[in-house]
Chain A
Amino acid sequence: MTRLRGGIGLLVLALLWELAPRLGLVRMDTLPPLSAIFLAWLDLARSGDLWTHGSASLLRAAAGVAIAIVAGTVIGIGMAAWVPVRIVFRPLMEAFYPVPKSALIPVTALWLGLGDASKVTLIALGCILPVAIGAYNGARGCERVLIWSGRSLGAGKLRTLVDVVVPSALPELLNGVRTALALSLVLLVSSELIVAKNGLGYLIGFLGGSGIYDAMFAVVLTIAIFGLIVDRLYLRYVRSVLSWQ
Protein backbone atom coordinates (compact mmCIF):
# COMPACT_ATOMS: atom_id res chain seq x y z
CA MET A 1 0.00 0.00 0.00
CA THR A 2 2.70 2.47 1.01
CA ARG A 3 4.72 1.40 -1.98
CA LEU A 4 1.79 1.97 -4.32
CA ARG A 5 1.17 5.37 -2.77
CA GLY A 6 4.81 6.32 -3.19
CA GLY A 7 4.62 5.18 -6.82
CA ILE A 8 1.59 7.37 -7.51
CA GLY A 9 3.21 10.38 -5.84
CA LEU A 10 6.37 9.94 -7.88
CA LEU A 11 4.41 9.52 -11.09
CA VAL A 12 2.52 12.77 -10.46
CA LEU A 13 5.80 14.52 -9.70
CA ALA A 14 7.39 13.15 -12.89
CA LEU A 15 4.40 14.28 -14.96
CA LEU A 16 4.55 17.78 -13.47
CA TRP A 17 8.28 17.87 -14.15
CA GLU A 18 7.71 16.90 -17.79
CA LEU A 19 4.79 19.26 -18.38
CA ALA A 20 5.82 22.41 -16.51
CA PRO A 21 8.74 23.29 -18.84
CA ARG A 22 6.91 22.09 -21.95
CA LEU A 23 3.91 24.32 -21.20
CA GLY A 24 6.23 27.24 -20.55
CA LEU A 25 5.45 27.48 -16.82
CA VAL A 26 9.19 27.46 -16.09
CA ARG A 27 12.06 28.15 -18.44
CA MET A 28 13.45 25.16 -20.34
CA ASP A 29 17.02 25.71 -19.20
CA THR A 30 16.20 26.15 -15.51
CA LEU A 31 14.19 22.94 -15.44
CA PRO A 32 14.64 20.73 -18.49
CA PRO A 33 11.75 18.29 -18.99
CA LEU A 34 12.33 14.83 -17.60
CA SER A 35 12.46 13.21 -21.04
CA ALA A 36 15.26 15.56 -22.15
CA ILE A 37 17.17 14.68 -18.98
CA PHE A 38 16.73 11.00 -19.74
CA LEU A 39 18.01 11.47 -23.29
CA ALA A 40 21.00 13.40 -21.96
CA TRP A 41 21.66 10.55 -19.54
CA LEU A 42 21.64 8.05 -22.42
CA ASP A 43 24.11 10.26 -24.29
CA LEU A 44 26.40 10.42 -21.27
CA ALA A 45 26.18 6.67 -20.81
CA ARG A 46 26.89 6.02 -24.49
CA SER A 47 29.87 8.36 -24.62
CA GLY A 48 31.34 6.62 -21.59
CA ASP A 49 31.70 9.82 -19.53
CA LEU A 50 29.28 8.51 -16.95
CA TRP A 51 31.28 5.32 -16.42
CA THR A 52 34.76 6.80 -16.26
CA HIS A 53 33.74 9.55 -13.85
CA GLY A 54 31.36 7.25 -12.00
CA SER A 55 33.95 4.55 -11.38
CA ALA A 56 36.45 7.18 -10.19
CA SER A 57 33.89 8.46 -7.65
CA LEU A 58 32.78 5.00 -6.60
CA LEU A 59 36.32 3.80 -5.95
CA ARG A 60 37.07 6.85 -3.82
CA ALA A 61 33.94 6.45 -1.75
CA ALA A 62 34.42 2.70 -1.34
CA ALA A 63 38.06 3.01 -0.30
CA GLY A 64 37.34 5.82 2.16
CA VAL A 65 34.37 4.06 3.73
CA ALA A 66 36.24 0.75 3.96
CA ILE A 67 39.11 2.40 5.83
CA ALA A 68 36.66 4.22 8.08
CA ILE A 69 34.72 1.06 8.92
CA VAL A 70 37.80 -0.99 9.79
CA ALA A 71 39.56 1.77 11.74
CA GLY A 72 36.37 2.98 13.40
CA THR A 73 35.35 -0.48 14.56
CA VAL A 74 38.80 -1.25 15.94
CA ILE A 75 38.99 2.11 17.75
CA GLY A 76 35.43 1.93 19.08
CA ILE A 77 35.61 -1.65 20.37
CA GLY A 78 39.12 -1.05 21.67
CA MET A 79 37.92 1.99 23.60
CA ALA A 80 35.18 0.01 25.25
CA ALA A 81 37.45 -2.90 26.11
CA TRP A 82 40.76 -1.34 27.19
CA VAL A 83 41.12 1.68 29.43
CA PRO A 84 44.42 2.91 27.87
CA VAL A 85 42.84 2.97 24.42
CA ARG A 86 39.92 4.92 25.83
CA ILE A 87 42.21 7.40 27.57
CA VAL A 88 43.99 8.09 24.30
CA PHE A 89 41.03 8.23 21.93
CA ARG A 90 38.13 9.58 23.95
CA PRO A 91 39.45 13.15 24.19
CA LEU A 92 40.36 13.07 20.50
CA MET A 93 36.88 11.87 19.63
CA GLU A 94 35.24 14.55 21.72
CA ALA A 95 37.46 17.20 20.19
CA PHE A 96 36.88 16.13 16.60
CA TYR A 97 33.16 15.44 16.95
CA PRO A 98 32.08 19.09 16.57
CA VAL A 99 34.41 19.79 13.61
CA PRO A 100 32.25 20.42 10.54
CA LYS A 101 33.63 17.59 8.39
CA SER A 102 33.52 19.69 5.23
CA ALA A 103 36.20 21.96 6.75
CA LEU A 104 38.63 19.10 6.06
CA ILE A 105 38.20 19.52 2.28
CA PRO A 106 40.84 22.27 1.86
CA VAL A 107 43.09 20.57 4.42
CA THR A 108 43.22 17.26 2.56
CA ALA A 109 43.56 19.14 -0.74
CA LEU A 110 46.52 20.98 0.78
CA TRP A 111 48.12 17.72 1.88
CA LEU A 112 47.42 15.49 -1.07
CA GLY A 113 46.41 17.64 -4.01
CA LEU A 114 43.47 17.22 -6.34
CA GLY A 115 43.57 13.47 -6.96
CA ASP A 116 42.18 10.32 -5.41
CA ALA A 117 44.31 10.33 -2.26
CA SER A 118 42.83 13.56 -0.93
CA LYS A 119 39.22 12.35 -1.43
CA VAL A 120 39.88 8.95 0.14
CA THR A 121 41.60 10.58 3.11
CA LEU A 122 38.78 13.09 3.50
CA ILE A 123 36.09 10.40 3.46
CA ALA A 124 38.05 8.12 5.79
CA LEU A 125 38.69 10.93 8.29
CA GLY A 126 35.11 12.15 8.15
CA CYS A 127 33.49 8.73 8.47
CA ILE A 128 35.67 7.19 11.18
CA LEU A 129 33.88 9.11 13.90
CA PRO A 130 30.28 7.88 13.38
CA VAL A 131 31.52 4.28 13.09
CA ALA A 132 33.74 4.55 16.17
CA ILE A 133 30.98 6.18 18.23
CA GLY A 134 28.52 3.46 17.19
CA ALA A 135 31.00 0.68 17.98
CA TYR A 136 31.94 2.26 21.32
CA ASN A 137 28.37 2.80 22.49
CA GLY A 138 27.33 -0.63 21.30
CA ALA A 139 30.22 -2.38 22.99
CA ARG A 140 29.77 -0.35 26.17
CA GLY A 141 26.15 -1.45 26.31
CA CYS A 142 27.15 -5.11 26.16
CA GLU A 143 25.69 -6.95 29.14
CA ARG A 144 28.34 -7.73 31.74
CA VAL A 145 26.69 -11.08 32.50
CA LEU A 146 27.32 -12.21 28.93
CA ILE A 147 30.99 -11.26 29.20
CA TRP A 148 31.33 -13.01 32.55
CA SER A 149 29.64 -16.14 31.20
CA GLY A 150 31.97 -16.13 28.23
CA ARG A 151 35.01 -15.76 30.46
CA SER A 152 33.84 -18.42 32.91
CA LEU A 153 33.25 -20.84 30.06
CA GLY A 154 36.95 -20.50 29.33
CA ALA A 155 37.08 -17.96 26.51
CA GLY A 156 40.16 -15.76 26.48
CA LYS A 157 39.98 -11.98 26.43
CA LEU A 158 40.28 -11.68 22.66
CA ARG A 159 37.88 -14.52 22.10
CA THR A 160 35.27 -12.91 24.35
CA LEU A 161 35.75 -9.67 22.46
CA VAL A 162 35.18 -11.22 19.05
CA ASP A 163 32.43 -13.65 19.99
CA VAL A 164 30.51 -11.72 22.65
CA VAL A 165 31.23 -8.01 22.57
CA VAL A 166 31.32 -7.44 18.80
CA PRO A 167 28.01 -9.22 18.06
CA SER A 168 26.22 -7.39 20.85
CA ALA A 169 27.64 -4.10 19.60
CA LEU A 170 26.49 -4.86 16.06
CA PRO A 171 23.14 -3.00 16.00
CA GLU A 172 24.66 0.32 17.03
CA LEU A 173 27.78 -0.30 14.99
CA LEU A 174 25.73 -0.91 11.85
CA ASN A 175 23.73 2.22 12.58
CA GLY A 176 26.98 4.19 12.76
CA VAL A 177 28.03 2.69 9.43
CA ARG A 178 24.74 3.91 7.91
CA THR A 179 25.51 7.45 9.04
CA ALA A 180 29.00 7.04 7.62
CA LEU A 181 27.65 5.90 4.25
CA ALA A 182 25.42 8.95 3.96
CA LEU A 183 28.22 11.25 5.08
CA SER A 184 30.66 9.67 2.61
CA LEU A 185 28.45 10.61 -0.34
CA VAL A 186 28.10 14.18 0.94
CA LEU A 187 31.86 14.53 1.37
CA LEU A 188 32.59 12.83 -1.96
CA VAL A 189 30.28 15.01 -3.99
CA SER A 190 31.16 18.26 -2.30
CA SER A 191 34.90 17.66 -2.50
CA GLU A 192 34.61 16.70 -6.16
CA LEU A 193 32.54 19.78 -6.86
CA ILE A 194 35.07 22.02 -5.15
CA VAL A 195 38.50 20.51 -5.85
CA ALA A 196 38.82 17.75 -8.43
CA LYS A 197 39.73 16.94 -12.01
CA ASN A 198 37.42 13.97 -12.45
CA GLY A 199 34.55 12.16 -10.75
CA LEU A 200 30.80 12.69 -10.90
CA GLY A 201 30.91 15.84 -8.76
CA TYR A 202 33.42 17.34 -11.16
CA LEU A 203 31.24 16.31 -14.09
CA ILE A 204 28.26 18.15 -12.55
CA GLY A 205 30.32 21.29 -12.07
CA PHE A 206 31.74 21.05 -15.59
CA LEU A 207 28.35 20.54 -17.25
CA GLY A 208 26.74 23.29 -15.16
CA GLY A 209 29.61 25.64 -16.03
CA SER A 210 29.20 24.89 -19.74
CA GLY A 211 25.45 25.49 -19.58
CA ILE A 212 24.52 21.91 -20.57
CA TYR A 213 21.80 21.76 -17.96
CA ASP A 214 19.89 18.66 -19.05
CA ALA A 215 23.06 16.60 -18.73
CA MET A 216 23.83 18.24 -15.38
CA PHE A 217 20.39 17.27 -14.08
CA ALA A 218 21.00 13.75 -15.38
CA VAL A 219 24.20 13.38 -13.35
CA VAL A 220 22.63 14.94 -10.24
CA LEU A 221 19.71 12.51 -10.41
CA THR A 222 22.11 9.61 -11.01
CA ILE A 223 23.99 10.35 -7.79
CA ALA A 224 20.78 10.95 -5.84
CA ILE A 225 19.24 7.67 -6.99
CA PHE A 226 22.52 5.85 -6.38
CA GLY A 227 22.59 7.17 -2.80
CA LEU A 228 19.01 6.08 -2.30
CA ILE A 229 19.68 2.57 -3.61
CA VAL A 230 22.80 2.18 -1.47
CA ASP A 231 20.83 3.16 1.62
CA ARG A 232 17.95 0.78 0.84
CA LEU A 233 20.32 -2.13 0.08
CA TYR A 234 22.22 -1.41 3.25
CA LEU A 235 19.04 -1.43 5.33
CA ARG A 236 18.09 -4.78 3.81
CA TYR A 237 21.56 -6.11 4.61
CA VAL A 238 21.30 -4.87 8.21
CA ARG A 239 17.95 -6.56 8.63
CA SER A 240 19.31 -9.89 7.42
CA VAL A 241 22.42 -9.60 9.58
CA LEU A 242 20.39 -8.74 12.67
CA SER A 243 17.68 -11.32 12.04
CA TRP A 244 18.88 -13.25 15.12
CA GLN A 245 17.69 -10.44 17.36
Chain B
Amino acid sequence: MAIDGLERAGERTPALVAVLNGAGRILLDYGSLIALVIVWEACARLQIVSPYLLPSFTNVLARIWAEIGDGTLLVNLADTLRRALLGFAIAVVAGVALGMLLARSVTAEWLVGPLVSLGFPLPKITFLPIFILWFGVYDTSKVIMVVCDAIFPVITATIAGAQGVERQIIWSARNLGARERDLWSTIILPAAAPQILSGIEVALPIALIIAVVGEMMLGGSGLGGAMMQSWRFADSVGVFAGLLELSVVGFILIRLMAAVRRRLLRWHAEAQPDLV
Protein backbone atom coordinates (compact mmCIF):
# COMPACT_ATOMS: atom_id res chain seq x y z
CA MET B 1 0.00 0.00 0.00
CA ALA B 2 1.77 3.14 -1.20
CA ILE B 3 0.52 5.64 1.28
CA ASP B 4 3.12 8.33 0.82
CA GLY B 5 5.00 7.77 -2.39
CA LEU B 6 5.25 11.47 -3.16
CA GLU B 7 7.34 12.26 -0.11
CA ARG B 8 10.31 10.43 -1.63
CA ALA B 9 10.68 13.16 -4.25
CA GLY B 10 12.10 15.44 -1.59
CA GLU B 11 15.46 13.63 -1.43
CA ARG B 12 18.63 15.16 -2.92
CA THR B 13 19.22 14.34 -6.60
CA PRO B 14 21.65 15.35 -9.41
CA ALA B 15 20.88 18.45 -11.50
CA LEU B 16 19.32 16.93 -14.64
CA VAL B 17 17.23 14.56 -12.62
CA ALA B 18 16.22 17.49 -10.49
CA VAL B 19 14.97 19.43 -13.53
CA LEU B 20 13.05 16.41 -14.81
CA ASN B 21 11.79 15.87 -11.33
CA GLY B 22 10.66 19.48 -11.20
CA ALA B 23 8.74 19.15 -14.48
CA GLY B 24 7.26 15.89 -13.26
CA ARG B 25 6.26 17.48 -10.01
CA ILE B 26 4.47 20.32 -11.77
CA LEU B 27 2.59 17.74 -13.83
CA LEU B 28 1.85 15.74 -10.70
CA ASP B 29 0.79 18.82 -8.76
CA TYR B 30 -1.26 20.58 -11.42
CA GLY B 31 -1.83 17.97 -14.16
CA SER B 32 -5.46 17.23 -13.40
CA LEU B 33 -6.21 20.92 -13.01
CA ILE B 34 -4.74 21.65 -16.43
CA ALA B 35 -6.67 18.71 -17.85
CA LEU B 36 -9.87 20.03 -16.32
CA VAL B 37 -9.40 23.43 -17.96
CA ILE B 38 -8.62 21.82 -21.32
CA VAL B 39 -11.71 19.58 -21.12
CA TRP B 40 -13.80 22.59 -20.08
CA GLU B 41 -12.56 24.63 -23.04
CA ALA B 42 -13.01 21.71 -25.46
CA CYS B 43 -16.56 20.98 -24.26
CA ALA B 44 -17.52 24.60 -24.71
CA ARG B 45 -15.77 25.08 -28.08
CA LEU B 46 -17.12 21.88 -29.62
CA GLN B 47 -20.60 22.74 -28.32
CA ILE B 48 -20.83 19.44 -26.45
CA VAL B 49 -22.48 21.43 -23.70
CA SER B 50 -24.51 24.50 -24.59
CA PRO B 51 -22.54 27.72 -24.05
CA TYR B 52 -25.32 28.91 -21.75
CA LEU B 53 -24.59 26.11 -19.29
CA LEU B 54 -20.82 26.18 -19.73
CA PRO B 55 -19.28 29.24 -21.35
CA SER B 56 -15.77 28.63 -22.61
CA PHE B 57 -12.89 29.23 -20.26
CA THR B 58 -11.29 31.80 -22.56
CA ASN B 59 -14.55 33.76 -22.73
CA VAL B 60 -14.69 33.80 -18.95
CA LEU B 61 -11.09 35.01 -18.78
CA ALA B 62 -11.88 37.70 -21.35
CA ARG B 63 -14.80 38.84 -19.21
CA ILE B 64 -12.60 39.03 -16.12
CA TRP B 65 -10.07 41.04 -18.15
CA ALA B 66 -12.83 43.40 -19.27
CA GLU B 67 -14.03 43.79 -15.68
CA ILE B 68 -10.50 44.62 -14.59
CA GLY B 69 -10.31 47.15 -17.43
CA ASP B 70 -13.51 49.07 -16.65
CA GLY B 71 -12.94 48.95 -12.90
CA THR B 72 -16.05 46.94 -11.94
CA LEU B 73 -13.91 44.13 -10.59
CA LEU B 74 -12.05 46.52 -8.33
CA VAL B 75 -15.26 48.09 -7.00
CA ASN B 76 -16.95 44.72 -6.37
CA LEU B 77 -13.80 43.28 -4.87
CA ALA B 78 -13.47 46.23 -2.51
CA ASP B 79 -17.11 45.85 -1.41
CA THR B 80 -16.84 42.13 -0.73
CA LEU B 81 -13.48 42.38 1.01
CA ARG B 82 -14.62 45.30 3.13
CA ARG B 83 -17.61 43.33 4.45
CA ALA B 84 -15.82 40.03 4.86
CA LEU B 85 -12.64 41.43 6.43
CA LEU B 86 -14.38 43.94 8.70
CA GLY B 87 -16.60 41.17 10.06
CA PHE B 88 -13.62 38.84 10.29
CA ALA B 89 -11.54 41.41 12.19
CA ILE B 90 -14.32 42.08 14.68
CA ALA B 91 -14.86 38.33 15.10
CA VAL B 92 -11.14 37.77 15.75
CA VAL B 93 -10.73 40.55 18.31
CA ALA B 94 -14.02 39.90 20.10
CA GLY B 95 -13.62 36.12 19.82
CA VAL B 96 -10.15 36.04 21.35
CA ALA B 97 -11.19 38.45 24.12
CA LEU B 98 -14.34 36.47 24.91
CA GLY B 99 -12.51 33.16 24.74
CA MET B 100 -9.81 34.37 27.13
CA LEU B 101 -12.44 35.68 29.50
CA LEU B 102 -14.37 32.41 29.37
CA ALA B 103 -11.23 30.38 29.96
CA ARG B 104 -10.02 32.42 32.93
CA SER B 105 -13.12 33.70 34.68
CA VAL B 106 -15.63 31.39 36.33
CA THR B 107 -18.39 34.01 36.36
CA ALA B 108 -18.06 34.67 32.64
CA GLU B 109 -18.08 30.95 31.97
CA TRP B 110 -21.21 30.66 34.08
CA LEU B 111 -23.01 33.40 32.17
CA VAL B 112 -21.87 32.99 28.58
CA GLY B 113 -20.54 29.42 28.40
CA PRO B 114 -23.86 27.68 27.70
CA LEU B 115 -24.71 30.27 25.05
CA VAL B 116 -21.44 29.60 23.24
CA SER B 117 -21.90 25.84 23.27
CA LEU B 118 -25.46 26.35 22.07
CA GLY B 119 -24.57 28.87 19.39
CA PHE B 120 -21.65 26.97 17.89
CA PRO B 121 -23.61 24.26 16.06
CA LEU B 122 -26.53 26.57 15.22
CA PRO B 123 -27.02 27.34 11.50
CA LYS B 124 -26.66 31.07 12.11
CA ILE B 125 -27.34 32.05 8.51
CA THR B 126 -31.06 31.52 9.18
CA PHE B 127 -30.97 34.68 11.30
CA LEU B 128 -30.06 36.79 8.28
CA PRO B 129 -33.72 37.73 7.58
CA ILE B 130 -34.04 38.83 11.21
CA PHE B 131 -30.91 40.95 10.94
CA ILE B 132 -32.35 42.51 7.79
CA LEU B 133 -35.44 43.38 9.81
CA TRP B 134 -33.31 44.92 12.56
CA PHE B 135 -30.43 46.52 10.72
CA GLY B 136 -31.66 47.08 7.17
CA VAL B 137 -30.27 45.78 3.91
CA TYR B 138 -26.97 47.66 3.92
CA ASP B 139 -23.55 46.78 5.23
CA THR B 140 -24.53 46.63 8.90
CA SER B 141 -26.57 43.45 8.67
CA LYS B 142 -24.04 41.79 6.35
CA VAL B 143 -21.12 42.56 8.65
CA ILE B 144 -23.03 41.48 11.76
CA MET B 145 -23.94 38.23 10.03
CA VAL B 146 -20.27 37.64 9.20
CA VAL B 147 -19.29 38.34 12.81
CA CYS B 148 -21.95 35.95 14.15
CA ASP B 149 -20.70 33.11 11.97
CA ALA B 150 -16.97 33.70 12.20
CA ILE B 151 -16.73 34.35 15.93
CA PHE B 152 -17.58 30.86 17.20
CA PRO B 153 -14.55 28.95 15.88
CA VAL B 154 -12.34 31.72 17.32
CA ILE B 155 -13.98 31.56 20.75
CA THR B 156 -13.84 27.78 21.04
CA ALA B 157 -10.25 27.61 19.79
CA THR B 158 -9.20 30.32 22.24
CA ILE B 159 -10.84 28.55 25.17
CA ALA B 160 -9.23 25.24 24.21
CA GLY B 161 -5.86 26.93 23.71
CA ALA B 162 -5.94 28.90 26.95
CA GLN B 163 -7.06 25.92 28.98
CA GLY B 164 -4.38 23.76 27.40
CA VAL B 165 -1.53 25.98 28.62
CA GLU B 166 0.71 23.93 30.86
CA ARG B 167 0.14 24.62 34.53
CA GLN B 168 3.89 24.58 35.23
CA ILE B 169 4.50 27.55 32.90
CA ILE B 170 1.85 29.60 34.68
CA TRP B 171 3.13 28.56 38.09
CA SER B 172 6.69 29.46 37.17
CA ALA B 173 5.59 32.85 35.90
CA ARG B 174 3.65 33.51 39.09
CA ASN B 175 6.61 32.33 41.10
CA LEU B 176 8.85 34.78 39.26
CA GLY B 177 6.51 37.57 40.25
CA ALA B 178 4.21 37.94 37.23
CA ARG B 179 0.94 39.67 37.98
CA GLU B 180 -2.35 38.41 36.51
CA ARG B 181 -2.17 41.14 33.85
CA ASP B 182 1.30 40.14 32.67
CA LEU B 183 0.27 36.52 32.68
CA TRP B 184 -2.31 37.13 29.93
CA SER B 185 -0.16 38.97 27.47
CA THR B 186 3.18 37.29 28.03
CA ILE B 187 2.28 33.71 28.92
CA ILE B 188 -1.22 32.58 28.04
CA LEU B 189 -1.72 34.38 24.73
CA PRO B 190 1.59 33.24 23.18
CA ALA B 191 1.25 29.71 24.55
CA ALA B 192 -2.27 29.42 23.15
CA ALA B 193 -1.38 31.16 19.88
CA PRO B 194 -1.13 28.04 17.66
CA GLN B 195 -4.63 26.89 18.56
CA ILE B 196 -6.09 30.39 18.42
CA LEU B 197 -4.61 30.85 14.96
CA SER B 198 -6.13 27.53 13.87
CA GLY B 199 -9.53 28.82 14.95
CA ILE B 200 -8.90 32.05 13.06
CA GLU B 201 -7.91 30.06 9.98
CA VAL B 202 -11.25 28.27 10.15
CA ALA B 203 -13.08 31.58 10.58
CA LEU B 204 -11.59 33.26 7.50
CA PRO B 205 -13.24 31.13 4.77
CA ILE B 206 -16.49 31.25 6.75
CA ALA B 207 -16.34 35.06 6.72
CA LEU B 208 -15.98 35.05 2.95
CA ILE B 209 -18.79 32.50 2.44
CA ILE B 210 -21.18 34.49 4.60
CA ALA B 211 -20.25 37.86 3.08
CA VAL B 212 -21.01 36.37 -0.36
CA VAL B 213 -24.37 34.95 0.78
CA GLY B 214 -25.29 38.31 2.28
CA GLU B 215 -24.53 40.08 -0.98
CA MET B 216 -26.45 37.50 -2.97
CA MET B 217 -29.51 38.00 -0.81
CA LEU B 218 -29.38 41.73 -0.27
CA GLY B 219 -27.59 42.99 -3.35
CA GLY B 220 -25.49 46.08 -2.81
CA SER B 221 -22.87 45.07 -5.40
CA GLY B 222 -19.84 43.07 -4.32
CA LEU B 223 -18.68 39.90 -6.08
CA GLY B 224 -21.62 37.86 -4.77
CA GLY B 225 -24.12 40.55 -5.72
CA ALA B 226 -22.62 40.79 -9.19
CA MET B 227 -22.95 37.01 -9.63
CA MET B 228 -26.66 37.13 -8.76
CA GLN B 229 -27.10 40.07 -11.10
CA SER B 230 -25.52 38.07 -13.94
CA TRP B 231 -27.66 35.06 -13.08
CA ARG B 232 -30.84 37.13 -13.27
CA PHE B 233 -29.90 38.33 -16.73
CA ALA B 234 -29.00 34.78 -17.80
CA ASP B 235 -25.44 36.00 -18.34
CA SER B 236 -23.61 32.75 -17.68
CA VAL B 237 -20.20 34.18 -18.61
CA GLY B 238 -20.68 36.66 -15.78
CA VAL B 239 -21.64 33.91 -13.33
CA PHE B 240 -18.55 31.85 -14.13
CA ALA B 241 -16.35 34.94 -14.06
CA GLY B 242 -17.64 35.63 -10.56
CA LEU B 243 -16.98 32.06 -9.48
CA LEU B 244 -13.42 32.24 -10.75
CA GLU B 245 -12.81 35.65 -9.17
CA LEU B 246 -14.14 34.51 -5.81
CA SER B 247 -12.01 31.36 -5.97
CA VAL B 248 -8.89 33.44 -6.56
CA VAL B 249 -9.84 35.79 -3.72
CA GLY B 250 -10.40 32.82 -1.40
CA PHE B 251 -7.10 31.28 -2.45
CA ILE B 252 -5.14 34.49 -1.83
CA LEU B 253 -6.81 35.09 1.55
CA ILE B 254 -6.05 31.56 2.74
CA ARG B 255 -2.43 31.82 1.57
CA LEU B 256 -2.04 35.20 3.29
CA MET B 257 -3.47 33.77 6.49
CA ALA B 258 -1.04 30.85 6.35
CA ALA B 259 1.84 33.32 5.85
CA VAL B 260 0.66 35.37 8.83
CA ARG B 261 0.56 32.21 10.89
CA ARG B 262 4.10 31.26 9.91
CA ARG B 263 5.32 34.78 10.66
CA LEU B 264 3.61 34.94 14.05
CA LEU B 265 4.69 31.46 15.06
CA ARG B 266 8.28 31.73 13.82
CA TRP B 267 9.41 31.08 17.35
CA HIS B 268 7.15 28.09 17.76
CA ALA B 269 8.35 24.57 17.04
CA GLU B 270 5.18 23.39 15.40
CA ALA B 271 5.24 21.23 12.32
CA GLN B 272 3.42 23.17 9.59
CA PRO B 273 0.29 21.17 8.85
CA ASP B 274 -0.61 20.42 5.26
CA LEU B 275 -3.58 22.11 3.68
CA VAL B 276 -5.24 18.79 3.00
Contacts and interface: CB of A to CB of B under 8 A. Distances in A.
B178 interface: no
B209 interface: yes
Given A6-B118, A133-B276, A217 B3 contact: no
B186 interface: no
Contacts of B134: 30
Given A9-B115, A101-B209, A224 B231 contact: no
Nearest to A205: B129
Contacts of A24: none
Given A30-B134, A189-B126, A142 B3 contact: yes
B267 to A, nearest CB: 27
A198 to B, nearest CB: 16
A224 B36 CA distance: 38
A122 B236 CA distance: 17
Contacts of A107: 239-240, 243
A182 B121 contact: yes
Nearest to A188: B123
Interface in A1-60: 2, 5-6, 9-10, 13, 30
Interface stretch (B10-18, B68-76, B250-258): B250-258
Contacts of B114: 2, 5-6, 9-10
Interface string A96-134: 111111111111011100000000000000000000010
Given A186-B123, A204-B129, A220-B129, A111 B53 contact: yes
Give chain A's interface secondary structure class.
helix
Given A5-B114, A194-B217, A223 B250 contact: no
A223 B205 CA distance: 23
B187 interface: no
Contacts of B213: 102, 105, 186, 190, 194
B246 interface: yes
Given A87-B28, A227-B121, 16 more contacts: A88-B31, A91-B31, A92-B32, A98-B205, A100-B209, A102-B216, A106-B227, A107-B240, A110-B231, A111-B53, A193-B129, A194-B228, A224-B122, A227-B123, A228-B118, A231-B121
Contacts of A201: 126
A227 B228 CA distance: 27
Contacts of B180: none
Contacts of A83: 2, 5-6
A110 B240 CA distance: 10
A137 B4 CA distance: 12
Interface of B: 1-6, 28-33, 36, 52-53, 110-111, 113-115, 117-118, 121-130, 132-134, 205, 208-210, 212-213, 216-217, 223-224, 227-228, 230-231, 236, 239-240, 242-243, 246-247, 249-251, 253-254, 275-276
Q: Interface SS of chain B: helix, strand, loop or mixed?
A: helix
Contacts of B115: 9, 13
B123 A189 contact: yes
Given A98-B247, A189-B126, A106 B230 contact: yes
- The 6 lowest CB-CB distance pairs between A and B, nearest first, are A6-B114, A98-B250, A231-B121, A106-B231, A185-B123, A227-B123
A97 B231 contact: no
A140 B4 contact: yes
Nearest to B229: A106
A99 B223 CA distance: 13
B243 A104 contact: yes
A220 B212 CA distance: 20
A190 B217 contact: yes
A80 interface: yes
Contacts of A151: 1
A160 interface: yes
A97 B209 CA distance: 12
Contacts of A81: 1, 3
Contacts of A110: 52-53, 231, 236, 239
A89 B249 CA distance: 22
